[in-house]
Amino acid sequence: MIKLILRIIILVSLILIIIIGYQINQTINYQVPDNLITYHFEVQLNESISSITNHLSEQGFIINENLLQWYLKTKPEITKNIQAGEYRIQVGDKPLDVLSKLEGGTYEETITFIEGWRREQYAKLLAQRKDINYALEFLDKTSTKEGYLFPDTYFIDDNTTVDQLIDKIEENFNQKVGELLVDQLSYLTKQEAMILASLIEREVIDPTEKRIVAGILIKRLTNGWNLDIDASVQYAIANYSLDGTTITNAITDQTFKWWPKIITEEELSINSSFNTRKNLGLPPAPICNPGLTSIQALTDPTMTDYWYYFTDQDGITHFSTSLEEHNYQISIFGLSE
């Protein structure tokens, strides 16, 4: 009886070894198919091997990520030289071919565009990291793309053209935002949503407060109120300043104020279609490039009894239900400079 049990155990073990060996062979010899949506792959800075294999699996470059992770643990030398960067995977590549490519480090330089920047601020950074001609070409080719230049960190190298950089940014926007606004905001067009998201981005930082402000602005819009956004006035002031200089001077001048903190009474009445203190409704275009939390705030706004808000000198946002309460809070806490 004991011999029979041992034989069964040995037989089952052999079957398991054969099955596992077959699965490992299938995993290691899997070839990248020719019907994938994209063959572009990106490794983030300090990204773990498990995260990398997970993303490789999601994009269809490998199968059985768990088995591959186990296999890689037995051969750590395979992944020790993987570097952050952007890579192009080829049809027919096997997993070890793919992992070998991730050691290339082709795009070792990164450039980070900050949430709430206008495209001219993107150009200012590009003038510093590339050159002025690169920056001016970027401005020329993004003249209608304000709001859609998704703020993030991008990999570039000496050979990255302006068109390639813009493609990276737009692809990132489509991946991160996609049809989020179209699917969930029936009362706004995509352009209107991006305009509103850009206003929210410049008004508050905290994600919870963004949702509250989103609710306030939606109420103001639907009730025929002026939006009264100081950030839109700041945008208009900077536009008027641009009229008095060349764009080259503006993006190379470290003192140029893209978002002037102090706004005079006269400037509050500036004659601009972007001045939401004078004009009803939304401005004609986004005033900056909003991050994901500002866009998401629109899809899940917090509807409250508040109609007013302001941010004090310590960065704390105060909300009010009436103009009287709003003015009182301003008198107590003071407007931010």
185 contacts 273 by C-beta, under 8 angstroms? no
Summarised one tens digit per residue, pLDDT across range 248-259 is 999 999 899 999
152-171 burial by CB neighbour count: b if 16+ within 10 A, else e?
bebbbeeebebeebbebbee
Summarised one tens digit per residue, pLDDT across range 11-51 is 666 776 776 666 677 777 888 887 877 777 888 878 888 88
DSSP characters over 215-259? HHHHHHHHTT-----HHHHHHHHHHHHHHTS-HHHHHH-TT--SS
Q: Which of 284, 275, 171 lies closest to 226 in space, CA to CA? A: 275
Residues of the chain with pLDDT under 50: 336-337
Name the class of domain 109-176: alpha beta
What does the pLDDT read at residue 336? Answer: 45
What does the pLDDT read at residue 176? Answer: 87
27 contacts 72 by C-beta, under 8 angstroms? no
Query: Which segments of the chain belong to CATH 3.30.1490?
Result: 109-176
Query: How many Å apart are CA 198 and CA 257, to the nearest integer?
Result: 18
What does the pLDDT read at residue 183? Answer: 59
CA-based end-to-end distance of the chain: 88
